[in-house]
Amino acid sequence: MLTYYILAVILLVLAARYVVLLLHKRKNLSEAEVDQHLLTLLNDERESYEKKAGRPVQEKPENHTRL
Amino acid sequence: MKKKLGVQFRKSRKTTHAFERLKYCKHCESYTVLEHEECDVCGRKNSFLSLRQLSHILSRRHFQKQLLILGLLICLAILSADTLWQLAAASVGGVVSLLLYALLQKKYSIYEKTNHFMRLISKEHDKIKSGLTRNLVEVNEDVEAERFKDAYEKIREVGCLFHSDAVKVCKIMLLNRFVLRKDMELELETLIPSTYDRDFIEYLGEVLKVQPWLLKKSVIDYVIRYKGNIFLEENGTRVIGQVAGAALRMKSYVVMYQDFISESLEYIPRERLLRLAKLLKANPDENWGSLREAASSLIETRYSFDPDFKGVL
Ligand SMILES: [Zn+2]
């Protein structure tokens, strides 16, 4: 009897996998969207990142070249 | 005035997406955009993966893990069979489920890969940021050691991912140290700061002398926004004239920015004014507003004895 239960579990696993893959397909992300997402993540929080670091990260070269 | 350096920049890699510039070290799990052969954190050679490769490896691992779970379940089903009928059912069920799994994978894995890639980016962006910040420290060291060319080549790479004003201003500072040439790989639109920056105006004046085609709408908009500040600069009127002159390269810009061009006519170089006059003459039906009158009156007062302008407008 256990065999049938396990086969049922396998069927459920496959069904779950199918649903997950279908959801991925529905999202249909492109590499351009991934790139945009990365740029947003890197640049949107820039201000807070600089504040956390206590100074703009490249303040030094800027000051130096201003000399 | 500081002496400008004559340099030859290394060719920058052309990529469709910015993430393609990132490299991941599989040993120390750090990121960089710089073109070093060895990792600047752990010192290992040939340890870099592109982000796409990393994402594919992670997707493959995910697939293998799921396959292993499925395989284990199938083995368990076979082992737990009490009768021959159950054994046959478990074996056939196992083969069918493996085939189904492979089919699903083949059909949809492409969508899953991109999703995994997106998730990877979300998870790793802090590490990517610290990698880029580390790269900027290297730029800083180059600037301090007066290796300005190296510094610019490095910050140019970082600037493809970091778009902050600080990066732009640093790039402008470095570019203002070089003699600009027509054959150089220069940038303009990507350097526009969010506020007024006199070094950008200095660079704008220099770059338009050698590559006027770099002038785009966003640059003209910036110049119009900060026209008052630019006029106060030493070479302000010259830069305004250059911008208005370079805008004449495209008829659509002349139509769009005719007020700006009209107001800047007196600073436009002679040869550009001649081009404007020819353009106005060639397109008599276009609505030029006050531009035509302003151009004719300037030509009349300043170039009435110039044979090139005879009968042009
Ligand atoms: Zn490393």
Residue A28 is assigned to a structural domain of this protein: yes
Closest alpha carbon to B120 in B55, B52, B65: B55
Which A-chain residues 16-55 have CB contacts (< 8 A) with chain B? 17-18, 20-22, 24-25, 27-35, 37-39, 41-43, 46, 49-50, 53
Minimal Cα–Cα distance from A61 to chain B, Å? 5
Q: Which residue has the tokens 């893990």?
A: B65
The answer to whether A67 contacts chain B (CB < 8 Å) is no
Choose the mutation target among B1, B19, B68 for the interface with A, i.e. most A CBs under 10 Å. B19
Residue A8 lies in a domain: yes
Distances (CA, A) of B140 to A49, B41, B44, B147: 18, 17, 23, 10
Domain assignment present for residue A61? The answer is no
- Host H or E run for residue B202: helix B198-210
Decide if pLDDT at A16 tops 50. yes
Residue A67 lies in a domain: no
pLDDT by residue for chain B (313 residues), tens only, comes to 678 999 999 998 899 999 999 999 999 999 999 999 999 999 999 899 999 999 999 999 999 999 999 999 999 999 999 999 999 999 999 999 999 999 999 999 889 999 999 999 999 999 999 999 999 999 999 999 999 999 999 999 999 999 999 999 999 999 999 999 999 999 999 999 999 999 999 999 999 999 999 999 999 999 999 999 999 999 999 999 999 999 999 999 999 999 999 999 999 999 999 999 999 888 888 888 888 889 989 998 888 888 888 877 6
Q: Is A59 on the interface with B (CB under 8 A)?
A: yes
The span from the CA of B201 to the CA of B181, in Å, is 17
Residue B158: count other Cβ atoms within 10 Å of its Cβ.
25
B114 CB near a chain A CB, below 8 Å? yes
DSSP category for residue B34: S
Q: Provide the domain limits for residue A37.
A: 2-52
Encoding tokens for residue B257? 């920015």
ipTM confidence? 0.85
Provide the pLDDT for residue B3: 85
Predicted structure pTM score: 0.83
Question: For residue B184, which amino acid is it?
Answer: M
Give A-chain residues touching B101 at CB under 8 angstroms.
14, 17
**Res B85: pLDDT:** 92
**Total tally of structural domains belonging to chain A:** 1
